[in-house]
Amino acid sequence: MSKKDNNFSFKDSVSLKEFLCSKINALEDKIELNLKLNQIVLDKTEAKLEERLARMNELREAMNDQSKTFVTRREHEITFEGANKDIKELMKTKDIASGKASQTSLLFAYLLAGIGIALSVIQILTN
């Protein structure tokens, strides 16, 4: 069909059946391509999801293993209750020992002061 000629000619035309068949075939090809692409995307998504779930299961197993080795609060209190008593007893003993050491130092200072006073009195009396 020429642009100048607006008359319709059957030799330039395609039958309606051929036209519809070509459009339907083109549409079927597009739908088939979309289905293939969707399947590819779905396969990739499933693979990533499986990988993610596997990592989550590994993490869950690691956390379960780790939690089995943890000490509960009650076990901790029972275990360290005796240690805390021992520490307090050692602190008391240290305080008592420090007090005795301070008392010994004080007695030694009094003794030296007494000797110093006695020597001073002797010095005064002899003069």
Which tens digits make up the pLDDT trace of 51-86?
A: 999 999 999 999 998 888 888 888 888 888 888 888
As a whole number of angstroms, the distance between CA 56 and CA 48 comes to 12
Q: For the residues 101-121, what does the mean pLDDT come to?
A: 84
pLDDT given for residue 34 in this prediction: 96
Please write the tens of the pLDDT for every residue from 28-43.
999 999 999 999 999 9
- At residue 86, the 3 state secondary structure works out as helix
The total number of residues shown for the chain amounts to 127
> For residues 20, 22, 25 and 26, what is the CA-based torsion angle, rounded to 10 degrees?
-110
Residue predicted with more confidence, 43 or 3 = 43
Question: Is residue 23 pLDDT above 70, yes or no?
Answer: yes
Q: For residue 28, which of 16, 20, 18 has the smallest C-alpha distance?
A: 20
pLDDT given for residue 12 in this prediction: 63
The model's confidence at residue 1, banded by pLDDT at 50, 70 and 90, is very low
Question: Rounded mean pLDDT of the chain?
Answer: 85
CA distances (Å), origin 105, targets 33, 39, 59, 115: 100, 92, 63, 15
pLDDT given for residue 2 in this prediction: 47
Percent share of the chain, pLDDT over 70? 88
Instruction: Give the torsion sign (CA, 112, 113, 118, 121).
Output: positive
Is this prediction's pTM over 0.75? Answer: no
Contact 79, 71 (CB under 8 A): yes
